[in-house]
Amino acid sequence: MLYLEKFIFPDLESDNLYYDQPRGSFYDEHSYPFHITSEISLWSIDFEPITILYGGNGSGKSTIINVISEKLEAERRAMFNSSPYFEEYVKRCRYTVSPDVAGDTVSARKRTPTKYDISSITTVLTSDDIFKSMQELRLDNDRKLQKSRLLMDEYVAPEELPRHLNFETGYNVENFKRGVEIRKARNATRSRGSSFNKLLIDTVGKMERGYSNGETALMKLSELLEKPGLYLLDEPENSMSCEFQIKLASLIQYLARYGKCQFLISSHSPFILSMENAKVYNLDRNPVDICKWWELENMKRYFSLFYDSREHFLKGR
């Protein structure tokens, strides 16, 4: 499924940062992100259902995803690096969408009624989003644990109910109700031994199991299974083991094929890069080139490492 067909970055001839400055001001290192794509001669991206940005640290992968997400006006949670020139740069970018998607276009073709709005169906997910989800889960569990300890203190406290109540002002009414609940739970526990746990769950809420980074990433992506759309994933494999990277790659391929999803991904992962039919832009080349995953420098280094140590892997076979 294609929602976004093409994204076009500013070119040197028509889109210098300031028209009254000489040619070359486009490359000013202080005018981020103007010089990022031009320095590697990346003027446009033509998309497939799965498009991957590959490159070393500082190659511009995250910047490109941030620029595209801002141009598409996609909602996002995590903050990203910006500059006073970021908005101006984004204004000069253009893009085309498929015929059944509403959005900007660089062509004058006749538009047909659209099913989707590109902004509303675009989702950005970064490793920061995953870490934030983990932190929120842990904080929620910590709050529940603290509440349960307070409830336990009430549970083991002497059986005393407030003697003075005022239903007009509400004085001691809530304390009396809570005392009655505790007394009922205490009596039920003596006979069945299970009601206090039920009281904890009803009052505090059920504690959620903590998840690893890899599990959290897969859970967040799995939530998108029933939702068609364009997904911008910035190094989603961060802190994931090989096992979870393989599962992540399988999930992305499934969503792209059966879930009406399109992906733009920045990644170093060999399991992500080697996905079948993925289109890989190699940002380490100038000009940027479309490569097969086995042509990438990092993949060659992995191969050399394993090939030079092949006797260790082949023992006993």
Question: How far, in Å, CA of 283 to CA of 40, rounded?
Answer: 7
| 67-77: average pLDDT | 87
| 30-50: average pLDDT | 89
Bridge pairing between strands 261-266 and 279-282: unpaired
Nearest in space to 246 (alpha carbons), one of 237, 258, 235, 234: 237
Question: How far, in Å, CA of 187 to CA of 22, rounded?
Answer: 85
The answer to whether residue 15 scores a pLDDT higher than 60 is no
Confidence of residue 75 (pLDDT cuts 50, 70, 90): confident
The answer to whether residue 138 scores a pLDDT higher than 90 is no
The answer to whether residue 234 scores a pLDDT higher than 80 is yes
Secondary structure tally for the chain: helices H, strands E:
11, 11
252 phi and psi angles, rounded to 5 deg: -60, -45
pLDDT score recorded for residue 48: 97
Architecture of domain 4-130+213-314: 3-Layer(aba) Sandwich (3.40)
pLDDT score recorded for residue 79: 58
In the chain the beta strands, taken as DSSP E runs, fall at: 4-8, 44-46, 50-54, 94-97, 101-102, 116-117, 122-126, 229-234, 261-266, 279-282, 289-291
In angstroms, how far is CA 84 from the centroid of its own chain?
Answer: 25
Write the pLDDT tens digit of every residue in 89-114: 899 999 999 987 866 655 444 444 45
pLDDT score recorded for residue 207: 52
- Classify 300 as helix, strand or coil: helix
Write the pLDDT tens digit of every residue in 241-252: 899 899 999 999
User: 37-51, 95-109, 220-234: which range is least confident on average?
Assistant: 95-109
The answer to whether residue 162 scores a pLDDT higher than 70 is no
Q: Are 51 and 264 in contact (CB under 8 A)?
A: yes
Q: How many CB atoms lie within 10 A of CB 264?
A: 26
- Classify 226 as helix, strand or coil: coil
Question: How far, in Å, CA of 169 to CA of 157, rounded?
Answer: 26
- Classify 24 as helix, strand or coil: coil
- The reply to whether omega before 287 is within 30° of 0 (cis) is yes
166 phi and psi angles, rounded to 5 deg: -135, 105
pLDDT score recorded for residue 111: 45
Which range scores top for mean pLDDT: 35-49, 78-92, 126-140? 35-49
Domain boundaries, the chain: 4-130+213-314, 131-204
| 156-185: average pLDDT | 64
Phi-psi region of 41 (alpha: psi -120 to 50; beta: other; left: phi over 0): left
In angstroms, how far is CA 172 from the centroid of its own chain?
Answer: 47
Question: How far, in Å, CA of 216 to CA of 238, rounded?
Answer: 11
pLDDT score recorded for residue 227: 84
pLDDT score recorded for residue 289: 95
Write the pLDDT tens digit of every residue in 263-296: 999 999 999 999 999 999 999 999 999 999 999 9
Residues in the chain: 317
Q: Are 260 and 224 in contact (CB under 8 A)?
A: no
Question: How far, in Å, CA of 278 to CA of 49, rounded?
Answer: 8
pTM of the model: 0.72
List Cβ neighbours of 145 (8 Å cut-off, separation of 6 or more).
207
Percent of residues, the chain, with pLDDT higher than 90: 35
Question: How far, in Å, CA of 82 to CA of 89, rounded?
Answer: 11
pLDDT score recorded for residue 222: 75
Q: Are 5 and 47 in contact (CB under 8 A)?
A: yes
